[in-house]
Amino acid sequence: MKHDAAAIRIAFVAPTLVFLIVIDLFPLLYNVFLSFTNAQLSSAAYDFVGTRNYSAVLGELASPRFQDALRTTGAFVVCAVAIELLLGFVLALALRDSFRGRSAVLSLLLIPMMLSPAVMGLFWNLILSAHNGVLNQALEVLGISGPHWLTDPHWKLPAVILVDVWMWTPFMMLIALAGLNAIPGYIYEAAEIDRASTWAVFRRITLPMTAPLLGLAVLLRCTDALKQFDLVMALTGPNDASTQTVSALLYQVTFAGQKVGLGGAYACVVLVVVIALASVFTRYLDWLAGKQGRSGQVAT
């Protein structure tokens, strides 16, 4: 098997790698180049401005605008992922044992995560409207006076989180279910013989044994939530102080403000964070593979 000529090996692998380098890596380098210029999207000419964009970014690191975007993104990621994890795990526990129609219920529950955030986000505008939205009317029936989801500055971010939770709780549930199903039955049987309490069983067996997979789910969701742009665009627009995530700020600077150079400098800062997170992710995969490799359930 290992005697194939190098040419064959290259023939299989190289097209993909070259393609990715050209399409993904090259723009990154070009981005770095542009970040030293005052390029604008509405004209082809540009001048070098040295490190002015970076001093602008460094200046902005201390300015409210960039800090707010970072804080908003952070708050969004932490809240959304935590709520999704919690709800997803609870749902998985409820759906763990089989019952009539379980498979159908599971299929239905999984639908939201496959839909387009941009398109569904647009429709959620109608649901969340405080003027004629159906959500607040439903809350009114329950005696709750609903907030102005999309206009009250304190409720806009929660509104974006709500829609994200609606979309991505199924994802957490799916992975949590896989973790729960992988716990061998004999462990529970042993616990039963020991007359362990339900809570003790949950804390000593269920939780620790599903934790590794939940960790993977959290990492995957975090990398995705960090990019949050579609829902923000659909629900509150890119220039809203209370929901401006880093991606929305990048859009605002690069496209509405037409400052490609400054946007490029922001982007470089963002990419460093993303690459760091990606490497955490792969390390985690390695660790997971090492931990569960014997069971053959996880492979990298």
Partner 1 sequence: MRALRWVTIVLGVMFGLLPLLWLVLTAFKHHPDAITTTAKFVPIPGTAVGSAGVAFSPTLEAFGATGRAAADGEPNFLDYVLNSAIIGLCSTAASVGLGTSCAYGFSRFRIAGAKDWLFFVLSTRFFPPLAVVAPILIMYRSVHLPNTHLGLIILYSAFNLSLATWLMKGFIDEIPRAYEESAVVDGYSRMATFFRLILPQARTGMAVTAVFCIISSWNEFGFAMTLNNAHAVPVPVYFAGLQGNIEGVPWPRIAAGTLLFVSPIVAFTIMVRKHLLRGVTFGTIKQ
Partner 2 sequence: MKISLILCALLASSVAACKGGGSGPEATGSGTAATQAGPRSVTIWWAQWAPADGLQELGREYQKETGVTVNVHQIPWSSYQDQVFLNFGGDTTDFDIVVGDSQWLGRGATSKLYLDLTDWLPTVLDLKTIHPAALKYLCEYPSGTPHYFAAPCETDAVGFAYRKDWFEDPAEKAAFNKKYKRDLAIPSNWDEFRDIAEFFNRPKAKRYGSALLTGRGYDALVMGYQPFLWDWGGSWGDSNTFAVKGILDARPGADALQFMKGLLRFAPNDGSNMDYGKVLEAFTSGSVAMAMNYFAFYPTIVRSMGAKAGFFVVPEKDGKRFTSLGGQGMSISTKAPPARQKLAKDFIAWFLAKQNQERWITKEAGFTANVEILNSPAFMNATPYNKAFSESVGLMRDFWNVPPYNELLASAAQHLGEALDGAKAPEQALGAIAEEHERILREAGFRK
By CB under 8 A, the residues from 131 to 190 that bind partner 2 are: 131-132, 136, 148, 150-153
Which among 56-64, 150-158, 171-179, 186-194 is the span making contact with partner 1, rule CB under 8 A?
Answer: 171-179
Residue 193 contacts which entry, partner 1, partner 2, none (Cβ below 5-8 A, type-dependent): none
Residue 125, amino acid:
N
At closest approach, how far in Å is the CB of 184 from partner 1? 16
* The binder of partner 2 chosen from 237, 272, 273, 277 (CB under 8 A): 237
Phi, psi (deg, nearest 5) at residue 48? -75, 135
Q: Can you read off the two tokens belonging to residue 28? A: 């990154």
At closest approach, how far in Å is the CB of 195 from partner 1? 17
Q: Is 227 in the site for partner 1 (CB under 8 A)?
A: yes
Q: How many residues bind partner 1 (CB under 8 A)?
A: 101
Residue 202 contacts which entry, partner 1, partner 2, none (Cβ below 5-8 A, type-dependent): none
Q: Is 252 in the site for partner 2 (CB under 8 A)?
A: yes
DSSP per residue, 105-166: HHHHHHGGGGS-HHHHHHHHHHHH-TTT-HHHHHHHHTT-----TTTSTTTHHHHHHHHHHH
Q: How many residues bind partner 2 (CB under 8 A)?
A: 29
SS3 50: coil
At closest approach, how far in Å is the CB of 287 from partner 1? 12
- Residue closer to partner 2 by CB (options 130, 209) is 130
Q: Is 188 in the site for partner 1 (CB under 8 A)?
A: no
Q: Is 43 in the site for partner 2 (CB under 8 A)?
A: yes
CA distance 107 to 104: 5
The CB density around residue 65, as the number of other CB atoms within 10 Å, is 14
Measured CA distances, 22 to 19, 26, 178, 260 (Å): 5, 5, 37, 20
Residue 78 contacts which entry, partner 1, partner 2, none (Cβ below 5-8 A, type-dependent): none
Q: Is 20 in the site for partner 2 (CB under 8 A)?
A: no
Q: Which residues touch 278 (CB under 8 Å, ≥6 apart)?
A: 223
Q: Can you read off the two tokens belonging to residue 115? A: 């839909």
The CB density around residue 296, as the number of other CB atoms within 10 Å, is 7
Q: Which residues touch 205 (CB under 8 Å, ≥6 apart)?
A: 183, 187, 188, 191
Interface positions, 126-165, toward partner 1 (CB under 8 A): 126-127, 131-132, 134, 137-138
At closest approach, how far in Å is the CB of 149 from partner 2? 9
By CB under 8 A, name the binding residues for partner 2.
Answer: 19, 22-23, 26, 30, 40-44, 129-132, 136, 148, 150-153, 237, 239-241, 252, 255-258
